[in-house]
Structure 1
Amino acid sequence: MTTMESEPLVQLTSELVSDPVRGYTELRRQAPLVRVTLPGVETPVWLITRFEDAKEALGDPRFVRDQEKIPGFASDGPSIAEQMIEAYGLPMEYRDYLGIMVLVDGPEHTRLRQLVTKSFTARRINALRPRIEEITRNLIEPLAARQEAELLEDVGYPLASTVICALIGIDDEDVPDMRRWIREYASGDLDLVIPALRNMVDHSKDLIARRRADRRDDLVSGWITSGEGDPDGLTETEMVALILLLINTGITPPALFIASAVLALLDHPEQLARLRAEPELLGRAVPELLRFTSPVPMGAPLYATEDLEFAGMPVRKGEAVTSALLAANHDPDEFRAPEALDVTRELGRGVGHVAFGHSAHYCIGAALARVEAEVALHEILIRHSGTALGVARDELEYFDLPGEGRHLRGLPVRF
């Protein structure tokens, strides 16, 4: 892998990764691509901070996610994804379960994606809305009676985990364990990460075995049934990897987004007042909050399959680029006053932001995340109009994830 010695390096800390103004404004002015290193990663990457460039890169077939798919290219070290896994200190035997679908391309990605998307169609997600409303109301009513809550622990994680686990086929009695394990896995504490991963892998294997004997209307049963007699059917390793992917992306980002969205609205009382006065704006406010907070601030690394020119700059075969999704969503060339939260903002064509990525790797669970957020925000901030922050703003605690920025550890509120 080339090290691009001629360019100065910018060290991206977790704090800068999550700061749309201080972290990226100067980088965006410097050039379309800026050479950076991410926390826990030695290999330099070209960082994209502009909206149109991010969309173009995410849909450009000259870039791939799997470094081994670069024709005739021999790397002299581990890939960026492998380095990020190494930064977590994960044992080798678990690495086959990580990165599936996120780090594959072409027909392999299409095959895996098609096996999952059938459970995330707009029709099926819209049909789930009454159930999501029921779950959310049942979570919040006792908290409102108690007049206090910690929104991540009491609402975000229970809501997201209940919904995604039901779709996967995880039994109700096992959901609290899965929720605890994914929180430990996302904690950044290595003493918790490895046991949590081991528990999730073991539980997933057991679930697959039980569904082989007792099929139900869930994803795992569907994978088993569709794979019978099909040489291209999912292996057990692939099924475990997909379960982990759905658990991770279907619980942690939606839970963190709900908390971040509530905090953003509490930080902007005039916008919250407008939303409370016009609840029908929720359908516009949630995409704006996704743009504003971008719960996954960095995209996956992409590798150039050939020497090419991108955004007017040369990128060599084998070099990596990555999109700062949060930066792209605050690009002043795309958004008027991007640092301002505006619940009436009409975003551009398509979804109008890249918080869920773009093109072939666009987040499968995007529609589900939007519905969960709409329902949660309505219950927390509109139906209960007195909701306020439960501690001083500067007392909120955060934690860092390598290459993924800073995230709220919790969000105490009063009702």
Structure 2
Amino acid sequence: MSENAMSENATHLTPEQVEDPVRGYADLRTRDELPHAVLPGLTTPVRLVTRYADVKAALTEPRLIRDRTRIPGDADEAQASDAQDELLEAASAGLPAEYVKYFAGHLALFDGEEHAHRRAPLTRAFTARRIAALRTFVERTADALVAEAEANGGTDLLGAFAYPLATQVICELIGVEERDRDQVCSWMRDFAFGDGSRAGEALVALVEYAKELIARRRAEPTEDLISALLDGDQLTEDDLIGIVFLLINTGITPPALFLAHAALALLDHPEQAARLHAAPELLPRAVPELLRYVSIVRIGATLYATEDVDFAGTALRRGESVTVALLAADHDPEEFGDGAGQLDVGREFGRGDGHLAFGHGAHYCIGAALGRLVTSVVLDRLFVRHDGLRLAVPRAELEFGHWPGDGFHLLRLPVRL
């Protein structure tokens, strides 16, 4: 089938359709073959995997890879254009070309031994001990933000609470020194959040600061992540800067948006918020349930068939692209029953996470433990210790934005405490 024909016959997903992950994907889940779909804001169709079992299988299938250049033969004959290219082009638009390499070489885009080699130093540095040691800092930062919100009678739970919290945590983890933190946090915010008008300047400033910080830690190591990564001298300066931007890209905006959407989910389900407040022992269940329910990274990385292969009832051609719909999988009635679309803070999960919000397999999110820690602290402060959190505007007046490929997201979340 030609690309034009695929595009014409494809399902064009809308942000509104993505917003209803049970009914929005219901037809796609029942098809015998993986459907061709065009993600919101894009033009190139991909095979979309929506069933939980198929998504989990795709993320561990060795014949589905992320680095398109490793496909044997002339992959361009099999797939002339690519949705992943569209997303990378949108992400780097307007940024200084010589600096784009620092965040374009994302771990999510590598496979096999190369991915394992690049990930290993970060995995060794991202220890359970280091994450556990951050709890006191996370609690202190969250308490300060709650106190400020209480003094003001309310806050923007996204822009004035979740973003500052996520940014401060990343600064602490990386090892940004106290005297530099306000400025570096400002650059991070400009790069990761906002209208993009200052993203280029922020990128340059962050790269130059990262170079200075790396030089300082080479001379005088501390207990931070940069110092741990320097131990053994396995990484180049460019590698280290790339890791800094990996942490900025994945450790600020997605967690901040998740915290805001998780809070909104509880505000939309006041009976569940009241249940959590009355039974704090449910917190260890509420955290994975909200991760499942929100699944803020709704669409995973593009995968490519290394050969002609049958997968999920579909004959994939060599080079054909496949994308996993994580939000759809986490609301699959085949996996979660008739209550898949319902928020249940007491939901019991089996072994493992019980959801795919952090991915699965070799690319499982390095920051998952940190994400669970921060989520637990925030839910405790906002919904266990408080019972008066409420929207400061009518629900219908909340503003949402749309990003290419990933649907909808909150722009702000005004609340009163």
TM score, norm. by length of structure 2: 0.92
Q: Deviations over 1:179-222 (max 9, x none)?
A: 33344334473433333333332322232233233322222223
Aligned residue in 1 for 2:279: 278
CA distance in structure 2 between the aligned counterparts of 1:183 and 1:39, rounded to whole angstroms: 25
Aligned residue in 1 for 2:86: 83
Aligned residue in 2 for 1:397: 399
Q: Residues 7-406 of structure 1 correspond to what in structure 2 (within 5 A)?
A: 8-39=9-40, 41-75=42-76, 77=80, 79-88=82-91, 89=93, 90-97=95-102, 98-187=104-193, 189-227=195-233, 233-336=234-337, 337-406=339-408
Q: Deviations over 1:72-116 (max 9, x none)?
A: 234265654332121241443233222421101111111221111
Cα 1:403/1:197, change in 2 over 3 Å: farther
CA distance in structure 2 between the aligned counterparts of 1:119 and 1:2, rounded to whole angstroms: 47
Q: Deviations over 1:250-302 (max 9, x none)?
A: 11111111111111111101111111110110110110011111111110001
Moved over 6 A (4+): none
One-letter code aligned to 1:82: D
Displacement after TM superposition at 1:328 (Å): 0.3
- Are the aligned partners of 2:159 and 2:412 in contact in 1 as well (CA < 8 Å)? yes
Q: Deviations over 1:200-251 (max 9, x none)?
A: 3232223223323332222222333321xxxxx2222221111101112111
Displacement after TM superposition at 1:11 (Å): 1.9
Cα 1:64/1:287, change in 2 over 3 Å: same
Cα 1:10/1:181, change in 2 over 3 Å: farther
- Are the aligned partners of 1:35 and 1:47 in contact in 2 as well (CA < 8 Å)? yes
Q: How many residues align?
A: 410
Cα 1:81/1:210, change in 2 over 3 Å: farther
One-letter code aligned to 1:209: A
One-letter code aligned to 1:144: E
- Are the aligned partners of 1:188 and 1:400 in contact in 2 as well (CA < 8 Å)? no
More displaced, 257-266 or 205-214? 205-214
More displaced, 100-109 or 208-217? 208-217
Cα 1:187/1:247, change in 2 over 3 Å: closer
RMSD: 2.2
Aligned-partner SS, 2:207: helix
CA distance in structure 1 between the aligned counterparts of 2:286 and 2:219, rounded to whole angstroms: 45
Aligned residue in 2 for 1:230: none
CA distance in structure 2 between the aligned counterparts of 1:21 and 1:264, rounded to whole angstroms: 15
CA distance in structure 1 between the aligned counterparts of 2:173 and 2:132, rounded to whole angstroms: 14
Aligned-partner SS, 1:240: helix
CA distance in structure 2 between the aligned counterparts of 1:67 and 1:50, rounded to whole angstroms: 24
Q: Deviations over 1:39-88 (max 9, x none)?
A: 45443211011000000000111111100111223426565433212124
Aligned-partner SS, 2:231: helix
- Are the aligned partners of 1:168 and 1:218 in contact in 2 as well (CA < 8 Å)? yes
CA distance in structure 1 between the aligned counterparts of 2:261 and 2:50, rounded to whole angstroms: 22
CA distance in structure 1 between the aligned counterparts of 2:409 and 2:76, rounded to whole angstroms: 33
Q: Deviations over 1:147-200 (max 9, x none)?
A: 211112232122222222212122234333443334433447343333333333
Amino-acid identity (%): 51
Unaligned 5+ runs, structure 2: none
Cα 1:180/1:135, change in 2 over 3 Å: same
One-letter code aligned to 2:310: E
TM score, norm. by length of structure 1: 0.92
Aligned-partner SS, 1:301: strand
- Are the aligned partners of 2:274 and 2:387 in contact in 1 as well (CA < 8 Å)? no
Cα 1:308/1:74, change in 2 over 3 Å: closer
